[in-house]
Amino acid sequence: QITLKESGPTLVKPTQTLTLTCTFSGFSLSTSGVGVGWIRQPPGKALEWLALIYWDDDKRYSPSLKSRLTITKDTSKNQVVLTMTNMDPVDTATYYCAHTGKLWFDYWGQGTLVTVSS
Amino acid sequence: EIVMTQSPATLSVSPGERATLSCRASQSVSSNLAWYQQKPGQAPRLLIYGASTRATGIPARFSGSGSGTEFTLTISSLQSEDFAVYYCQQYNNWPPLTFGQGTRLEIK
């Protein structure tokens, strides 16, 4: 059974760096073809893909946010970490991590709401 | 970047009726399209990938069709639990992976 869960701060101040951790079980990020992605959703709005990391440490980012994002993995801990720098109120959203094999997302975490406010 | 446009924004349908949701891509995505269902306060749930393949555990009343730039999600006989927001996502040309803006399916 595959499960994922996001953790991190619920409130960050403008200009701060956000660090989110995705802890998963039921699969290994050392298995060929497996990836974990991050997707966010501002309140009442659509989904936006942010970043994806593969089993071989290949990393891909949304071009519009690339300069602010870093995705890393710790295979031994079954974790993926996303950092986003220079947070702004427009970055207020629910952040999801999700499992992927072929670029669709078949298992999702419950999401974590991050509010950016001073 | 491929822009995904869903229509209508809101669809009102009676239980037991058929619902047809549309998704259009700004350029061809072949059959590299997925559909998701999202209920309030929940994460999205994968329904369809490869434009027409149902994900594990998805009821047969959900079907997907289309290729290139025009895609359709059909729910053949709406159940109460099907009223939700539906998103399409292309994975043909990336980054970025892109989602549509969603269609809200509401009870008529």
Sequential pLDDT tens for chain A (118 residues): 999 999 999 999 999 999 999 999 999 999 999 999 999 999 999 999 999 999 999 999 999 999 999 999 999 999 999 999 999 999 999 999 999 999 999 999 999 999 999 9
Instruction: Output the six-digit token pair for A51.
Output: 């970043």
CA nearest A8: which of A87, A116, A113? A113
* Spatial separation of the C-alpha atoms in residues B26 and B69, rounded to whole Å: 7
Instruction: Output the six-digit token pair for B97.
Output: 């992976």
* Angle at CA of residue B47, ends B45 and B51, nearest 5°: 135
B72-101 CB burial, b ≥16 within 10 A, e <16:
bbebeebeeebbbbbbbbbbbbbbbbbbbb
Determine whether the interchain pair A106/B46 forms a contact, defined as Cβ–Cβ distance below 8 Å.
yes
Instruction: Please check whether residue B1 touches A, CB under 8 A.
Output: yes
Pick from B42, B49, B100: CB nearest A104 = B49
CA nearest B33: which of B85, B70, B82, B58? B70
Determine whether the interchain pair A62/B101 forms a contact, defined as Cβ–Cβ distance below 8 Å.
no
CB-based contact A46:B99 (threshold 8 Å): yes
Residue of A nearest to B101 (CA): A46
